[in-house]
Structure 1
């Protein structure tokens, strides 16, 4: 098949769908980010230690991870375009329950509901971002993820402006965001049949034009997925040290108030939003493996300096570190999709679920270390985590990386 025919059969990029998907991701992750953003208030109200704070994160992350691969496998065989709407119902109920929780047990149940909502949302939303990409997969995943990262960054801002002055019950007000997200997701679900049909037709034409292209061997797939999972763990363990404990670090070491520490956390998380978009776009041009190398191993000098920096340079370094490190996720996700192109739902569920699960495990471990050695010591220990990026050497060379633009 000629290049002209392949070009004509290439599906168009559904920019409106991608933008709305990014907006729903923003709302979903904003509601999730209210959990760690409210930790200082919850800790004071219930007299919690760092281990209990870490267990809240673990409960939320495990609930948000275990179900995602299952949902992805099911929707690979039986597409469910409206399943993210159902997921938002769990998130809504969890937020309301958390707002009026009066015990540590109810807090754990509430965050588990929010995690389940997220686990239902991500696999199908990831599939739609892939289908609507029109071949611009890095851009599409970057745009989708920039919504999630921006939502995560806004959590501390809302915590500083609303939750701190109005208290825990104000969390119920954010349930309105779940209702807005449900309406947007219902519209996206109505577009899926047309977009998926166009994607399938273009993919069939692309295969006809590349006869003889071998599928990846079981060894290549297995090796690639194991390396990607280990890279994800190193990235998430370092990132979770900021999401769960950065405000405590700033308050303990530099004497910042809760609102000031929350605003610093917002700036840090905002860098993630920029990083994932840049990483997705650049990955379309230079290849996924190169971006993974740069983003995982690249921040190492900065992470080693961070624990010894003053307040100003702490802010600068954390932004630079997260800007570089966040650029990895879009490339890791797309790399995995290229390993298993027929399992988009499974890959989306596995790697978003992995993102949650590994983050939760890391939070629990870091909570124990923070109680025993102090928060500052945790950042010194975590500064060596980017060394795991050396494992990128073992990533298989994919056809798509060999023919980047």
Structure 2
């Protein structure tokens, strides 16, 4: 394995190492697929454990806040002392969580299992982002997109899991998620030695100001960086709350408004997530050409008209509208991560943790608010109110220009 690492290392200096990018993207897929097991089980938990919308919101909040609170902290620590061995350890935690989901007899035991899944994700993402950073070469937008596509595809599996696994097998079907964790660990046995070789050759990015990255020095002063990060987090807040509404509750909305079955209600949700996979990939490519800020403006603000339209269309129009909505909304996600990394050169783990971690965390908070609102005001009115959230994306016009503009 060390011999392979020696052969690959010079390629990092010359360009993008696609074999590593696709490997870490596949682990990202498996990691987020395990998180998707949680959301895929929501309709099942409602029946097997008699949960209300508010309790479902708390499950999503626990999963997302575990990742959110820990991910920036793990990222900050790993910036100072990267630890490749933490990648398989994180997958091991998620494996324990899968077993817990399958056999949890109560709401509180279910939350404990979700904590293990969230912790595994919090450990994986900062280190995974650094692997991408080393393997990207000069094509950082494309590299981040390849990485994020894996995660988005894993999330898109949730409706299919509901249809083909959890409706037939029930809660016990979650034990099949252990195979996802085992597969991830096997792939990491290839990635971790390569990652360790890069660290040995180049050192931690925080020690050697953005070794293997560009730009070396931030083009922004501290006040501009603080303003841009604050605004970026507000945009992440808006996008993640809306995505939480779609991911956690839209299937219930489809059942109530259009009278669809549990299985049929998963179809538009899958279309939304699958379109997001495509949007993530093409968004990263386009950001390398047209700039990060322009793509984020297109992504969040451009999705607003379709979000506002979605609750008011007939069933036949739901499918094309939600496809366009998912594509546009997710086209800026990987771009926002790269934008944050360029604001904070040398702090790859922390920048990635702030955006991906807070994206999940804010989504979890949104799940509680939206779930509680659905219990009190009904799922139909709650989803209509949720559709206004992407309008906050218009604030992205205030972001400072990035280095590609």
Q: TM-score, normalised by structure 2?
A: 0.92
Residue 169 (structure 1) aligned with residue 172 (structure 2): yes
1:386 corresponds to:
390
Select which of 92, 115, 119 maps to 2:122: 119
Given that 1:240 and 1:362 are in contact with CA atoms closer than 8 Å, whether structure 2 keeps it comes out as yes
Cα distance change, pair 372–132 in 1 and its aligned pair in 2 (3 A): same
Given that 1:291 and 1:328 are in contact with CA atoms closer than 8 Å, whether structure 2 keeps it comes out as yes
Equivalent-residue separation in structure 1 for 2:113 and 2:320 (angstroms)? 35
Select which of 376, 382, 393 maps to 2:380: 376
2:191 corresponds to:
188
Residue 76 (structure 1) aligned with residue 79 (structure 2): yes
Q: Deviations over 1:71-98 (max 9, x none)?
A: 1111111111121111011100011011
1:11 positional shift: 3.8
Given that 1:82 and 1:186 are in contact with CA atoms closer than 8 Å, whether structure 2 keeps it comes out as no
Select which of 101, 105, 116 maps to 1:102: 105
Unaligned runs of 5+ in 2: 1-10
Cα distance change, pair 204–270 in 1 and its aligned pair in 2 (3 A): closer
1:36 corresponds to:
39
Equivalent-residue separation in structure 1 for 2:213 and 2:296 (angstroms)? 26
1:177 positional shift: 1.2
After superposition, residues 113-262 of structure 1 pair within 5 angstroms as 113-196=116-199, 197=201, 215-262=219-266
Cα distance change, pair 129–111 in 1 and its aligned pair in 2 (3 A): same
Q: Deviations over 1:209-234 (max 9, x none)?
A: x99x7642110110110010000011
Equivalent-residue separation in structure 2 for 1:309 and 1:166 (angstroms)? 34
Q: Deviations over 1:228-271 (max 9, x none)?
A: 00000110111111110011011111111111112332222111
Given that 1:26 and 1:150 are in contact with CA atoms closer than 8 Å, whether structure 2 keeps it comes out as yes
1:70 positional shift: 1.1
Cα distance change, pair 65–254 in 1 and its aligned pair in 2 (3 A): same
Given that 1:82 and 1:185 are in contact with CA atoms closer than 8 Å, whether structure 2 keeps it comes out as no
Equivalent-residue separation in structure 2 for 1:49 and 1:97 (angstroms)? 20
Equivalent-residue separation in structure 2 for 1:20 and 1:84 (angstroms)? 13
1:195 positional shift: 3.6
Equivalent-residue separation in structure 2 for 1:326 and 1:204 (angstroms)? 29
1:55 corresponds to:
58
Q: Deviations over 1:143-188 (max 9, x none)?
A: 0000011111112212211111011111112201101101211221
- Secondary structure of the residue that 1:350 maps to in structure 2? helix
Given that 2:20 and 2:191 are in contact with CA atoms closer than 8 Å, whether structure 1 keeps it comes out as yes
Cα distance change, pair 126–235 in 1 and its aligned pair in 2 (3 A): same
Cα distance change, pair 346–254 in 1 and its aligned pair in 2 (3 A): same
Instruction: Report runs of 4+ in structure 1 exceeding 4 Å deviation.
Output: 198-207
Q: Aligned residues, how many? A: 391
1:373 positional shift: 1.5
Q: Deviations over 1:48-74 (max 9, x none)?
A: 111111111111111111111111111
Given that 1:9 and 1:202 are in contact with CA atoms closer than 8 Å, whether structure 2 keeps it comes out as no
Residue 298 (structure 1) aligned with residue 302 (structure 2): yes
Equivalent-residue separation in structure 2 for 1:109 and 1:74 (angstroms)? 25
Unaligned runs of 5+ in 1: 1-7
- Secondary structure of the residue that 1:79 maps to in structure 2? coil
RMSD across aligned C-alpha pairs, in angstroms? 2.0
Residue 87 (structure 1) aligned with residue 93 (structure 2): no
Which deviates further from its counterpart, 317-326 or 372-381?
Answer: 372-381
Residue 360 (structure 1) aligned with residue 353 (structure 2): no
Residue 344 (structure 1) aligned with residue 364 (structure 2): no
Equivalent-residue separation in structure 2 for 1:185 and 1:82 (angstroms)? 9
Cα distance change, pair 166–279 in 1 and its aligned pair in 2 (3 A): same
Given that 2:54 and 2:372 are in contact with CA atoms closer than 8 Å, whether structure 1 keeps it comes out as yes
Equivalent-residue separation in structure 2 for 1:84 and 1:9 (angstroms)? 21
- Secondary structure of the residue that 2:260 maps to in structure 1? coil
Cα distance change, pair 135–167 in 1 and its aligned pair in 2 (3 A): same
Cα distance change, pair 35–252 in 1 and its aligned pair in 2 (3 A): same
Q: Deviations over 1:288-311 (max 9, x none)?
A: 000011001011221121111111
